[in-house]
A = this chain, B = another copy of it.
Amino acid sequence: MGTRERRQRDFELREQRFVEAGRELIREDGLLNLQMARVADRCEYAVGTLYQHFVSKEDLLLEIARKDIEAHVSLFERVARWSAPARDRMIAMTVADAVFFSHNPEHFQLIQYVFCDVVWRSAPAERRQQVLATQAPISAIAVGIVDDGVAAGDLDRGGLSSWGVASASWAQALGMLNLLHAEGLVEPISMVQPYRLMCRHMQVLLNGFGWQPLVDVSDDAALDALINRIRTEVFHDCSAEI
């Protein structure tokens, strides 16, 4: 009597369908114009059914974001598995961001929106917890890379925890993404190859930590070579320019 199981499976399938439809509608009409009724319509279900899955619009948005984050995390996991010096893997984290965000232009906007205090707090605690759990590997991976650097004798944390070091890199990337996406804050001209600039800044930061071997950040060719190597070795199947 696998009835219960089948039901459960159908339910989950439908949920995925809703999430997918939500994502489509965001792509088509923008996050601003997303309406619960339209999501239900597109899936040929009544609004009430949609509300069986998500207690509110914020709940749905968080779930859409969570799925995106899963994909994002999977890129970081490639980096974690990449056998290369820790310092290079740290740069590869930045390249992962670049690959991910150029693939999903809407994602940043969504992430930015759902992590706003106002929106975040109006989502149910359980979903928030799930999002955080989905995110968790990111900081674990970053901390792991820092630990590897220390273990290899390339990095001296100088009294800081590994998290302290990792947080600086995370902040650097996150902040740059914010600047990039803030329309009008920055003249577009200054931002040719923004993701390349992110990588360069990351090299500067790692140099600042004294992470060996130090890199000549003004050597454009070396940076491009590293980025290309990462794209080939780690993200060969994710087409994306930087």
Chain A residues in the interface with B (C-beta under 8 A): 31-32, 109, 112-113, 115-118, 120-122, 128-129, 132, 135, 139, 158-161, 163-164, 167-168, 170-176, 178-179, 181-186, 190, 197, 200-201, 203-209, 217-218, 220
Q: Is the CB of A184 within 8 A of B31?
A: no
- B172 lies within 8 A of A168 (CB): yes
Closest CB of chain B to A191's CB: distance in Å? 9
Q: Which of B31, B197, B204 contacts A117 (CB 8 A)?
A: B31
Give chain A's interface secondary structure class: helix
Q: Is A176 touching B186 in the complex (CB atoms < 8 A)?
A: no
Question: In the complex, what residues of B have CB within 8 A of residue A172's CB?
Answer: 168, 171-172, 175, 205
* Complex contacts, A132 vs chain B, CB 8 Å: 184-185
The 24 sampled A-B contact pairs (Cβ below 8 Å) are A112-B116, A115-B178, A116-B116, A117-B181, A128-B184, A132-B184, A135-B185, A158-B218, A159-B218, A159-B220, A161-B190, A167-B190, A167-B197, A168-B204, A168-B205, A170-B179, A171-B171, A171-B174, A171-B178, A172-B172, A174-B174, A175-B178, A206-B208, A208-B209
A132 CA to B187 CA in the complex, in Å? Answer: 11
The answer to whether B174 and A178 have CB atoms under 8 Å apart is yes
- Within 8 Å CB of A178, what residues of B? 115, 171, 174-175, 178
Q: Output the least CB separation between A187 and chain B (Å).
A: 9
A158 touches B121 (CB 8 A): no
Whether B179 contacts A171 by the Cβ 8 Å rule is yes
A186 vs B204: C-alpha distance in the bound complex, in angstroms? Answer: 24
A163 close to B184 (CB less than 8 A): no
Cβ-closest chain B residue relative to A175 = B175
With a CB–CB cut-off of 8 A, which chain B residues contact A181? 117
User: Are B117's CB and A109's CB within 8 A?
Assistant: yes
List of 10 A-B pairs having minimum Cβ-Cβ separation, nearest first? A175-B175, A208-B208, A171-B175, A158-B218, A204-B208, A174-B175, A171-B176, A207-B208, A168-B201, A109-B117
Q: Which residues of B contact A184 (CB under 8 A)?
A: 128-129, 132
Which of B32, B117, B208 touches A112 (beta carbons < 8 Å)? B117
Contact of A121 with B32 at beta-carbon distance under 8 Å, contacts A164-B197, A185-B132, A197-B164 already known: yes
